Amino acid sequence: MPIILSKNLNSSVSFCVWRISETEEFFYDYLQLLPEDENYIRHLKLPTRRLEKLACRAALASLLHSHYVEVRYNPKGVPQIPDYSVSFAHSRSHVAVAITQNSPIGIDIEPITERITKLYTKILSPTEIQRFDIAQPRQLHFCWGAKEAMYKYCGGSCPDHINQLQVLNFPEPLPFAKGVIQTETERSEVQLCCYEMENQMIVLCYNLLNNN
């Protein structure tokens, strides 16, 4: 199986990165899915989307040490599984899945490209533009991934990525940094965790209380 990284960050937070190289038939044989979940995936029009969904479930199965996975979605489209918080992310070639207990979690994965240096005004606040090197694709991809992971962490309740989601520092050396989520009612600091492999930037966001 093409698991390229599987890691327990602490006693509560785990994640897995999977390179997609299998067929749909492999995943259907490998996994035991809820009938409604399998039906949902089989009816997706794009083969790439079906493979991404299936690979996410395979990575989740690896984290849970079980071929049987129960994935459902809430009305906002956020994935849910029994006993854990879960977050899915995918690029065309890889997927990343993170789980934790008793608190939210978010994960993002993006291929690293030079093109992102032209998009920094869509990612960063004026303060962050001063804080990070906008000529460095790695730093911008980290910020992009951090904000996507924070958005998932807060269940999509912070749609203003530029102002409500703030990245405080670049993880040099990797992997740890911090971010701030500002909702209408509270400000909370979160842990960010970054990994790079196979030209992919993976960023997790989780509760600072889960650092033990």
Check if the beta carbon of residue 49 is closer than 8 Å to that of residue 56. no
DSSP 111-129: E--GGGGG-GGGT--HHHH
Question: What pLDDT score was predicted for residue 212?
Answer: 59
| Token output for 3 | 């698991």
CB 18 within 8 A of CB 109: no
Distance from CA of residue 48 to its chain's centroid? 18
* pLDDT tens digits, one per residue of 96-155: 999 999 899 999 999 999 999 999 999 999 999 999 999 999 999 999 999 999 999 998
User: Dmax over Cα atoms in the chain, in whole Å?
Assistant: 50
Q: What CATH fold (topology level) applies to the domain 3-105?
A: Ribosomal Protein L22; Chain A (3.90.470)
Closest CA to 8 of 212, 166, 168: 212
The whole-angstrom separation of Cα 63 and Cα 98 is: 8
pLDDT computed for residue 3 by the predictor: 92
Taking alpha carbons only, the member of 197, 134, 198, 199 closest to residue 170 is 134
Gyration radius from the chain CA atoms: 17
Does residue 211 carry a pLDDT above 80? Answer: no
Beta bridge partners of 19: 94
Encode pLDDT of 72-96 as tens digits: 999 888 999 999 999 999 998 999 9
User: Residue 186: which pLDDT band, with cuts at 50, 70 and 90?
Assistant: confident
Q: Which of 195, 191, 193, 194 is nearest to 206 (CA)?
A: 191
